[in-house]
């Protein structure tokens, strides 16, 4: 971003025009910032989610959280959804963008079809994949049985269903990464490649030393978007497994939802909320810091 | 040799296209099969009927739900454009300490997961008597996407709107609001398109806020309606598939018609950010 130089004229009075952003600040404060801090307060109570009263219990909920084996399943799944989706969305999205940046047939059609799932509600996308993975008459088992294999209970398998959920998320949002990389690729001047060709650089060397460094801003945006999106995964899980069997595919979002609405355990739900907020904050700052540093080096 | 490479890459693109189309193909074959037809999901039926679509439309309350989705998405989009662009203007133009702090506040909010705020917010919404109102969904969604809108608007104002225009108007005695709405706002059309496209897709498809705050069937949006319809019809997935196709239709049509803007909007938003 170009930093404009402050005008040389002395300013009589610094005018922030703060009243212009007052409505936006109020809206965000009332509906996000204030409830967020209120959530932190609730995490120190035993509130059930509907009573007018609750007791301050200090760090009890935090002790409970760190000794609850479900917490670790949930954190592991949430990290798996967040980091797994990020790696695959970026690798595949970049691959697609490199392919579609060439003058080949089918470019527009491929771009349209790959992007189409982005506009579908993730909940509905979950149902579509339910048609695919359902044990009875699911497309996967119809296919397996056609070739003489035994049907598999993919969604009931606790090892595989987090993988399926993660892949559905990748399928749905890889289009965004692809478009951002395509825009990034199109902003790289052809001159660099011509010069590299004259110097006899191999395609891999060109990719490594020209394309990747100049794509750094796109990589930063994609990684941060995908990390945040993946860590907040909710709808697809509700549609495909409801977090089960047991808690096997539960993410922080679905776990909090069930703690609050099914188990009247609002204090504990808030504690889990604080944990995921800290995880998202740390991971997105790490990603931002790491890739920004790469951008400056490039 | 070069020609050969292009053909191979085009075939690869064709393969990717088909692979990505599979889920939609399965959705279509399922929606076209009547109850009791357990033939493979990979095959199309040897008869043609739109029975599932008619039943789903009647049973699933999709019409009113669609109206709710339109009202909520439209309302939130209006708030985002109006308050978002207005908020971005001073943040882009006046580099005071206060404004820098406010900008950091908005960026920090983007990182805060809204779901952490949802649990305490639910009781607050109950207390002010706004549970099961479309208004609360409009306000929630507008708040959730406000930081993004401000981010896009302020980047655009800083990088593409010339200051000279505003200074000339100021000398002519125009008020700040007058300058903003008469001179700056009309020039923001491209970024307004980006904000609209990005935010509308996410608000239209929102499930998490809706499932917390819109439980009453009179105010349910398409996603919440689909959720209960799926639960009721787990053994008649033809109906679910048909309902899903109807629910997807408005956004899919808009995307196919305005595809250029969808893609340009996303790309420019990302590059400017």
| Separation of first and last alpha carbons in chain A | 16
Q: Mean pLDDT across the stretch A91-113?
A: 92
Q: Which domains does chain B have, with CATH numbers?
A: 2-49 (no CATH), 61-235+244-272 (1.10.3720.10)
Asked if residue A3 has pLDDT above 70, the reply is no
Neighbours of B57 (CB within 10 A): 15
Cross-chain residue pair A36–B116, CB shorter than 8 Å: yes
Q: Which residues of chain A have a CB within 8 Å of the CB of B114?
A: 32
With left for phi above 0 and alpha for psi between -120 and 50, is residue A49 left, alpha or beta?
A: left
Q: Which two tokens stand for residue A42?
A: 């609730």
Q: What chain B residue is nearest to A172 in terms of C-alpha separation?
A: B20
Contact predicate A109/B17, CB 8 Å? yes
ipTM of the complex, rounded to two decimals? 0.87
The alpha-carbon radius of gyration of chain A (Å, integer) is 24
More confident of the two residues B164 and B1: B164
Which of A265-274, A287-296, B74-83 has the least mean pLDDT?
Answer: A287-296
d(CA A233, CA A252): 8
A91 touches chain B (CB under 8 A): no
Contact predicate B68/B220, CB 8 Å? yes
pLDDT band at B270 (very low <50, low <70, confident <90, very high): low
Asked if residue A11 has pLDDT above 60, the reply is no
Cβ-Cβ contacts under 8 Å for A129 (sequence gap 6 or more): A164, A168, A236, A239, A240, B23
Which of A97-106, A161-170, A251-260, B165-174 has the least mean pLDDT?
Answer: B165-174
Asked if residue B43 has pLDDT above 80, the reply is yes
Between A99, A131, A218, which is nearest B241 by CB?
A131
| For residue B12, cis peptide bond before it (omega within 30 degrees of 0) | no
Q: Which residues of chain A have a CB within 8 Å of the CB of B112?
A: 32-33, 36, 277, 280-281
What is the pLDDT, as a whole number, of residue A162? Answer: 93
Cα of B43 vs its chain's centroid, Å:
33
Choose, out of B113, B124, B200, B256, the residue to mutate when testing the contact with A (most A CBs < 10 Å). Answer: B113
Cross-chain residue pair A114–B248, CB shorter than 8 Å: no
Which of B104-118, B146-160, B208-222 has the least mean pLDDT?
Answer: B104-118
Distance from CA of A207 to the nearest CA of B (A): 18
d(CA B64, CA B225): 10
Query: So where are chain A's domains?
Result: 71-297
d(CA A121, CA A239): 11
More confident of the two residues A190 and B139: B139
Q: Which residues of chain B have a CB within 8 Å of the CB of A171?
A: 20, 23
Cross-chain residue pair B27–A128, CB shorter than 8 Å: yes
Cross-chain residue pair B90–A17, CB shorter than 8 Å: yes
Give the whole-number percent of chain A exceeding pLDDT 90: 41
A vs B, Cβ pairs < 8 A, gives 289
A100 touches chain B (CB under 8 A): yes
d(CA B240, CA B230): 6
The CATH code belonging to domain A71-297 is 1.10.3720.10
pLDDT band at B220 (very low <50, low <70, confident <90, very high): very high
Q: What chain A residue is nearest to B112 in terms of C-alpha separation?
A: A277
- Strand ranges in B20-156 using DSSP code E only, listed in sequence order: none
A49 touches chain B (CB under 8 A): yes
Contact predicate A166/A229, CB 8 Å? no
Choose, out of B13, B140, B146, the residue to mutate when testing the contact with A (most A CBs < 10 Å). Answer: B13
A176 touches chain B (CB under 8 A): yes
What is the pLDDT, as a whole number, of residue A89? Answer: 96
Contact predicate B45/B65, CB 8 Å? no
Cross-chain residue pair B17–A21, CB shorter than 8 Å: no
Give the whole-number percent of chain B exceeding pLDDT 90: 42
What is the pLDDT, as a whole number, of residue A216? Answer: 86
What is the pLDDT, as a whole number, of residue B18? Answer: 95
Q: In A48-80, which positions are buried (b, 16+ CB within 10 angstroms) versus exposed (e)?
A: ebeeeeeeebeebbbeebeeeeebebbbebbbb
pLDDT band at A296 (very low <50, low <70, confident <90, very high): low
Cross-chain residue pair B140–A109, CB shorter than 8 Å: no
Q: State chain A's maximal CA–CA distance in angstroms.
A: 83
Contact predicate B143/B79, CB 8 Å? no
Q: What chain B residue is nearest to A170 in terms of C-alpha separation?
A: B20
Distance from CA of A192 to the nearest CA of B (A): 20
Q: Which two tokens stand for residue B4?
A: 């050969």
Give the whole-number percent of chain A exceeding pLDDT 70: 94
- Locate tokens 């709808």: which residue? A235
Between A30, A146, A256, which is nearest B40 by CB?
A146
Cross-chain residue pair B226–A36, CB shorter than 8 Å: no
pLDDT band at A50 (very low <50, low <70, confident <90, very high): confident
Between B113, B146, B155, which is nearest A280 by CB?
B113
Asked if residue A8 has pLDDT above 60, the reply is no
Q: What are the φ and ψ backbone dihedral angles of A56, each rounded to 5 degrees?
A: -75, 125
Distance from CA of A130 to the nearest CA of B (A): 9
Between B13, B93, B226, which is nearest A99 by CB?
B13
Looking at every residue in chain B, the average pLDDT score rounds to: 88
Question: Distance of CA A46 to CAs A65, A139, B195, Å?
Answer: 13, 46, 41
Cross-chain residue pair B139–A31, CB shorter than 8 Å: yes
pLDDT band at B2 (very low <50, low <70, confident <90, very high): confident
d(CA A29, CA A38): 12
pLDDT band at B52 (very low <50, low <70, confident <90, very high): very high
pLDDT band at A14 (very low <50, low <70, confident <90, very high): low
What is the pLDDT, as a whole number, of residue B55? Answer: 92
Asked if residue B9 has pLDDT above 50, the reply is yes
What is the pLDDT, as a whole number, of residue A283? Answer: 86
Q: What are the φ and ψ backbone dihedral angles of A45, each rounded to 5 degrees?
A: -125, 175
């Amino acid at each position: 971003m170009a930093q404009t130089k402050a005008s040389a004229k002395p300013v009589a009075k610094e005018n922030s025009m703060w009243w212009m952003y007052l409505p936006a600040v109020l809206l965000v404060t009332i509906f996000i910032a204030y409830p967020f801090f209120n959530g932190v307060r609730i995490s120190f109570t035993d509130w059930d989610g509907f009573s007018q009263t609750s007791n301050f219990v200090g760090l009890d909920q935090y002790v409970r959280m760190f000794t609850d084996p479900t917490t670790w399943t949930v954190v592991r799944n949430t990290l798996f959804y967040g980091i797994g989706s990020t790696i695959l969305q970026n690798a595949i999205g970049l691959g697609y963008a490199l392919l579609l940046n060439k003058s080949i047939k089918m470019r527009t059609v491929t771009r349209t079809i790959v992007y189409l799932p982005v506009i579908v509600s993730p909940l509905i996308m979950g149902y579509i994949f339910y048609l695919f993975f359902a044990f009875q008459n699911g497309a996967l088992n119809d296919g397996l049985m056609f070739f003489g294999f035994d049907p598999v209970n993919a969604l009931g398998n606790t090892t595989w269903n987090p993988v399926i959920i993660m892949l559905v998320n990748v399928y749905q949002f890889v289009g965004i990464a692809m478009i951002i990389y395509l825009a990034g690729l199109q902003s790289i001047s052809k001159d660099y490649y011509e010069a590299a060709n004259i110097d006899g650089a191999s395609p891999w060397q060109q990719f490594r030393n020209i394309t990747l460094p100049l794509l750094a801003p796109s990589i930063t945006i994609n990684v941060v978007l995908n990390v945040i999106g993946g860590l907040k995964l909710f709808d697809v899980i509700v549609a495909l497994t409801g977090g089960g069997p047991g808690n096997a595919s539960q993410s922080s979002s679905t776990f909090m939802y069930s703690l609050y609405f099914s188990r009247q355990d609002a204090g504990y739900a808030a504690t889990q909320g604080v944990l995921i907020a800290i995880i998202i904050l740390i991971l997105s700052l790490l990603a931002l810091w790491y890739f920004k540093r790469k951008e400056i080096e490039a | 040799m070069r020609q050969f490479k292009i053909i191979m890459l085009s075939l690869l693109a064709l393969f990717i296209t088909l692979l990505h189309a599979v889920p939609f193909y399965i959705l279509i074959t399922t929606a076209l099969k009547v109850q009791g037809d357990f033939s493979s999901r990979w095959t199309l039926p040897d008869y043609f009927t739109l029975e599932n679509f008619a039943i789903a439309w009647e049973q699933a309350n999709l019409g009113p739900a669609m109206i709710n989705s339109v009202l909520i998405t439209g309302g939130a989009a209006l708030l985002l454009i109006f308050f978002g662009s207005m908020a971005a203007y001073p943040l882009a133009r006046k580099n005071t300490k206060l404004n820098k702090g406010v900008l950091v506040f908005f960026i920090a909010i983007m990182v805060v997961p809204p779901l952490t705020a949802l649990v305490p917010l639910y009781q607050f919404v109950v207390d002010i008597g706004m549970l099961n109102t479309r208004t609360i969904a409009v306000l929630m969604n507008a708040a959730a996407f406000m930081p993004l809108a401000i981010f896009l608007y302020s980047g655009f104002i800083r990088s593409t709107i010339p200051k000279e225009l505003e200074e000339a108007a100021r000398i002519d005695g125009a008020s700040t609001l007058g300058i903003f709405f008469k001179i700056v706002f009309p020039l923001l059309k491209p970024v307004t398109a980006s904000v609209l496209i990005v935010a509308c897709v996410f608000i239209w498809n929102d499930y998490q806020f809706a499932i917390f705050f819109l439980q009453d069937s009179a105010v349910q949006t398409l996603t919440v309606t689909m959720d209960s319809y799926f639960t009721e019809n787990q053994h008649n997935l033809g109906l679910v598939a048909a309902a899903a196709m109807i629910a997807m239709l408005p956004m899919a049509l808009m995307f196919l018609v305005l595809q250029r803007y969808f893609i340009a909007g996303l790309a420019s938003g990302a590059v400017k950010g």
